[in-house]
Amino acid sequence: MNKLSLLLVAVSVSINAFCQEVKENKGFYQFLTDDPNQKPFYSDRQGVVASNGMVASAHPEASKVGIDILKKGGNATDAAVAVQFALAVVHPSAGNIGGGGFFVYRTRKGKNYTLDFREKAPLKGHKDMYLDAKGDVIPGLSLTGHLASGVPGSVDGMVEVHKKFGNLPWNMLLQPAIDLAEKGVILTAKEATGLNRIKNDLLKVNSDTTYFRLPDGREWKAGDLLVQKDLGKTLRRIQEKGRAGFYEGETAALLVAEMERGKGFITDEDLNQYHSAWRTPLVGQYKDYKLITMPPVSSGGVALLQLLKFVEPYPLKRWGWHADSTIQVMIEAERRVYADRAKFLGDPDFVKVPVRELISPDYLKQRWEDFDFNKASESKVVKGGYIPTYESLETTHFSIVDKEGNAVSVTTTLNGGYGSRVVVKGAGFFMNNEMDDFSIKPGVPNMFGLIGSEANAIAPSKRMLSSMTPTIVEKGKKLYMVVGTPGGSTIITSVFQTILNVLEHGMTMQESVNAFKFHHQWLPDKTTFESGAFTEGVIQRLQSRGYILEMQRNTIGRMDCILVRPDGTLEGGSDPRGDDTSVGY
């Protein structure tokens, strides 16, 4: 072949590649041409690309801590432990030692592990603990104050992770968080606003000496320094004694004294008995991709696999991103999945959760039989009997990949922003209000107009149902993507969309995070969407088929994700909706 022929072949290959690209992205452009002025992204933020390691988390300081640990020879799990403790300092609204979470891990050799360090109901907890003498729900009791807390799991979880997989010494992993607590953290505008929002609650449930409230109720502003001396001391005890530095000794005594002061239920016995649990990872397949995700007491893993299986037969790629047909099958999948969630999901140590059945092809086929493209299904006739418990948007997620290719996906939470608003006196950290993730009165609407189910009723030492969905995706037996987000019940649908945006719509990691999102959770029977997510044409077509659509003022999701690009480099995608930041090296 002469030089000219070679050139022609090369040109033709590249033209074909280009045509292929345009064709493959047809739906995406279809969205744009429906209204060429409408952008599908919340922001134009670009992904962070690096070769040796990546940390994507809710706060730039926490991501820097994770990268420093990787650079010092730590693996992804070492970095995860350090990031978890750093977030407890720099992101007190959701980062925590007084809460719990889930850890999903894929080793570079493809072995998978999941750790459940979700909080538990105290031993004194019972079904009626939030009801008055008439059996009515006492508003706010499961949300604010001492009774709202479950027994924290985060410290035990991190100890377990380190014991099994850690490479660097434990004390090294605590030091960055201790430094941040003792030297102080510069508040971002979002953290300052958050602390100002809770200043009255802080006063109501604490003595007024907590450092999260400025004297005389003055307002925090971006750039202020938040020093947390008591938290520094607590972290030093954990650094020195590991698990015993939290669940025994001085920290435990301070926590129990705080509970006694506020008539909370958590005792020494609760703290002694708390242990996180290694669970068998939930693994599923979507086309050529393998998903490794969290089993119950997360509802998220089961729901994600169901959602993907429901939409798998449809040509989403050809239809296009947020084309009406694409949205329609996703909404109908979400409707059915959230109905199942409440009927069947709860703590597997207490109730039988039929996981295999819920994700089996026969079951899903039968659930889809009443789907009709001409008309929206109605939630009141979709079987299930579920109404999700209220879950706040204040949780946090981080994703880490190290230079060996070990990958960690962790979602952790206090539940509501700053949890129960109770700061343990002398120990300086927020306690969770995770008890509200139980059905506080099964079968009856709670204060948010939502109903819970018997499977998720309170019982001593039981774990409350969660939507947290930390997930890892493999392609061709290799690591492909690490995904997760806070967002209460919207966690599941945000993870679902973020995965499909990459797998089906050819988006980069950051584009997928930036992309506008929508959410349906069976009841209430409506689809909420971020402003800009749907074009006018799409809205009209969906409404004509009976869909109730509601644009919401708030954003959906705070994704922190990592994608392995074809050349093996890592792309960190962190959500521009928050302070979230990816740092790589």
Interface ranges with ligand GLY (CB under 6 A): 391, 395, 413, 415, 437, 466-468, 488
- Close Cβ partners of 273 (under 8 Å, ≥ 6 residues apart): 123, 151, 461
- Tokens 């059996």 belong to 135
What contacts 562, CB < 8 A, 6 or more positions away? Answer: 54, 56, 399, 400, 401, 407, 481, 482, 509, 570, 571, 572, 573, 582
* Amino acid identity, position 31: F
Closest residue (Cβ) to ligand GLY?
Answer: 466
Query: Rounded CA gap, 310 and 313, in Å?
Result: 7
Other beta carbons within 10 Å of 21? 10
Q: Quick one: 494 or 574, whose CB is closer to ligand GLY?
A: 494
Residue 411: CB minimum distance to ligand GLY, A: 8
Per-residue tokens: 55? 């940390």
Set 144, 234, 251, 395: catalytic member: 395
Q: What is the token pair recorded at 331?
A: 């909404």
The number of CA neighbours under 13 Å toward the Cβ of 234 is 29
Smaller CB distance to ligand GLY: residue 345 or 424? 345
Please state the closest distance from residue 102 (CB atom) to ligand GLY, in A: 9
Nearer to ligand GLY, 457 or 468 (CB): 468
Residue whose pair of structure tokens reads 């493959």 in the numeric block: 24
Beta-carbon contacts of residue 566 (< 8 Å; ≥ 6 apart): none
* Closer of 446 and 467 to ligand GLY (Cβ): 467
* Nearest distance in Å: CB 486, ligand GLY: 8
CB of 419 to ligand GLY, least distance (A): 10
Q: How far is the CB of 458 from ligand GLY (least distance, A)?
A: 15
Q: Give one word for 421, left, alpha or beta, with left for phi > 0 and alpha for psi -120 to 50.
A: left
Q: What angle do CA 304, 310, 316 make, to 5 degrees?
A: 100
CB closer to ligand GLY out of 342 and 503: 342
- The C-alpha atoms of residue 13 and residue 66 are separated, in whole angstroms, by 42
* Whether the Cβ atoms of residue 406 and residue 75 lie closer than 8 Å to each other: yes
- Distance separating alpha carbons of residues 415 and 440, to the nearest angstrom: 15
Residue nearer to ligand GLY on the CB measure, 434 or 571: 434
Tokens linked to 9: 């072949």
Residue ranges in 452-504 assigned as alpha helix (H):
490-503
Q: How far is CA 450 from CA 10, 147, 339, 385, 447, in A?
A: 60, 21, 13, 12, 7
* Smallest gap from residue 488 Cβ to ligand GLY (A): 5
CA atoms within a 13 Å half-sphere pointing along the CA-CB vector of 547: 29
Whole-number minimum distance, CB 510 to ligand GLY, in Å?
25
In the bound state with ligand GLY, the residue whose beta carbon lies nearer, of 267 and 415, is: 415
Specify the residue, 188 or 413, whose C-beta has the smaller distance to ligand GLY: 413
Q: How far is the CB of 297 from ligand GLY (least distance, A)?
A: 9
Measure the CA–CA gap between 125 and 534, rounded to whole angstroms.
44
* The pair of three-digit structure tokens given for residue 128, joined into one six-digit string: 């009626």
Closest distance between ligand GLY and the C-beta of residue 88, in Å? 16
Residues 90 and 560: their CA atoms lie apart, in Å, by 16
Give CA–CA dist 457/126, Å, rounded: 9
Closer residue to ligand GLY (CB): 47 or 99: 99
Measured between alpha carbons, how far is 563 from 185 in angstroms, rounded to an integer? 30
Residue 267 bears catalytic tag: no
Q: Of the two residues 468 and 482, which places its CB atom closer to ligand GLY in the complex?
A: 468
**How far apart are CB 391 and ligand GLY at their closest, in Å?**
4
Q: For tokens 């949205």, what's the residue? A: 327
478's enclosing H/E stretch is strand 478-483
Element (H, E) at 410: strand 407-413
Task: Provide the 8-state DSSP code for 463.
Answer: B
- Structure token pair of residue 391: 């879950």
DSSP H stretches of helix in 345-412: 355-358, 361-367
CA atoms of 212 and 203, how far apart (whole Å): 10
Annotated catalytic sites, by residue?
395
